[in-house]
Amino acid sequence: MSKTNKIVLRIQSADGTKRIETEPSSTTKALYELVRGVCGFDHYEFALFRERNFTKEIVSSGSQEVKDIGLKHGDILYLRLVEGPSTSKAAERSASVNSLASSHSSTFSNASFSREATPSTSSKPSAAAATELSLEDEDAVDLELYKQDGRIKRDRDEKLCRHNSNGRCVHCSALEPWDENYLKEQKIKHFSFHSYLKKLTSGAARGKFVALEDLNCKIKSGCRDHPPWPKGICSKCQPSAITLNRQPYRHVDNVMFENTGIVERFLNYWRTTGHQRIGFLFGKYEIHPDVPLGIRARVAAIYEPPQESNRDSIRLLDDPHDADVDEMARQLGLQRVGWIFTDLLGENLASGTVKHVRNIKTHFLTAQECILAGHLQNKYPNRCQDSSNGYFGSKFVTVCVTGDEKKQVHMEGYAVSAQCMALVRDNCLIPTKDAPELGYIRESSDKQYVPDVYYKVRASV
């Protein structure tokens, strides 16, 4: 025994006791394979436990060794047949979250989100589906921006330039559309999405190795090296940990309403009843001249779906005319470009002021509003030729009507990042009950694996 450095383990099951030989340096994944062979199984639908009452389960892993879990020569392991999680429903979402993303009945404020986790595995779309998506035409504004270089032209500086009018130097040569100093001077916090694409395709490689891929928070299905989750996981199928970062680009740089009457009609409901309101923005995307290679959403109409609301909450109802509205908008050359909601609390009816409740000390958007925005952005993705599946990000905007610092009715536009979209799509992010400004990341369970999510905090001086 000392020469071979092997240990004998006893496997007790309903069919009796069997023995296997293994090395302390073997992985628990290899241990499962030995047990599978000695028991004559053609599947991995079983689990090994340290205790007779089927506790202290041993998880199949390619990195954890037998000696790491304290197994010694002569130990008994207890085998029990289990039923692995189904992967056929990988596209399902929880009932309440799915209702928020669609036009079905859902509660917007103070909603109860399901705590049930969804299946943890995800499957890639078929080749036919990916081909079908890639054949769809992109938005006209994207096709037009692809043709532009976006370089920012500068005039000759009379004080610094020492050349004639036909020459160029570092003081007057054109700038790239993502130039940080120029964006800072123009008070542009994010460069446009097409500027981001130009930056990726610049340099010597010319974007040869650039591929836009959406973040995936689910286990890749079809791994044959171990039993399915929660019985096993490996580095090939495990999603990477996520570090929340500020997204440097944005898909839409400005939201503009064609006339004030559009918003006034929308606000009349709140002025009359004091209840909040939700609407969908219909319009088109166009080039925004104030941002290099920027896109502006021009809103031509607001559609208010069936809903029930009060002073603090809104509940969307099933809309039987949803498809007809989209078809009518298509015939008019319009499309859904975003959604709008009110959060207005009157302060002085005589002067017409409202309370200033959303600010840096409280929140700009609640976690539930961010989750709903993420669902709508996933529902209306952005068609992109540089993505493998034909879609990347979303141009769907969120407009909040609330009170500003001067206690006047004010509108602010938002869009959640691609990281937030992925966390919402894979049912990892849920709201909290006691703090509306905080979201909560689910914990991994036997039904769903959730990757680690990290964030950075800047220390205040």
pLDDT of res. 115: 39
* Domain span at 322: 244-455
Element (H, E) at 263: helix 260-273
pLDDT of res. 201: 82
Integer Cα distance of 225 and 223 in angstroms = 6
**Residue at a domain's end among 30, 61, 81:** 81
Work out how many domains the chain is built from and give that number. Answer: 2
Q: What is the CATH number of the domain that holds 50?
A: 3.10.20.90
pTM for this entry = 0.70
95 belongs to a structural domain: no
Pairing outcome for strands 439-441 and 429-431: antiparallel
172 belongs to a structural domain: no
Please check whether residue 409 is in contact with residue 399, taking contact to mean a CB–CB distance below 8 angstroms.
no
Please check whether residue 191 is in contact with residue 178, taking contact to mean a CB–CB distance below 8 angstroms.
yes
**Residue at a domain's end among 62, 81, 100:** 81
Q: What is the CATH number of the domain that holds 304?
A: 3.40.140.10
378 belongs to a structural domain: yes
DSSP conformation class of 8? E
**Residue at a domain's end among 26, 60, 81:** 81
137 belongs to a structural domain: no
Closest CA to 359 of 406, 420, 311: 406
pLDDT of res. 122: 54
100 belongs to a structural domain: no
User: pLDDT tens digits for the chain (461 residues)?
Assistant: 445 688 898 888 877 888 888 888 888 888 888 888 888 887 777 888 888 877 888 887 777 788 888 888 888 988 888 754 333 333 333 333 333 333 333 334 433 334 344 555 554 444 344 434 444 578 899 999 988 888 888 887 777 887 777 777 877 888 888 888 888 888 888 889 999 988 888 766 565 656 788 888 888 887 888 888 888 888 888 888 888 988 999 999 999 999 999 999 999 999 999 999 999 999 999 999 999 999 999 999 999 999 999 988 899 999 999 999 999 999 999 999 999 999 999 888 788 899 999 988 889 999 999 999 999 999 999 998 888 788 899 999 999 999 999 999 999 999 999 999 999 999 999 998 888 889 999 998 888 889 989 887 765 54
361 belongs to a structural domain: yes
pLDDT of res. 208: 60
pLDDT of res. 51: 86
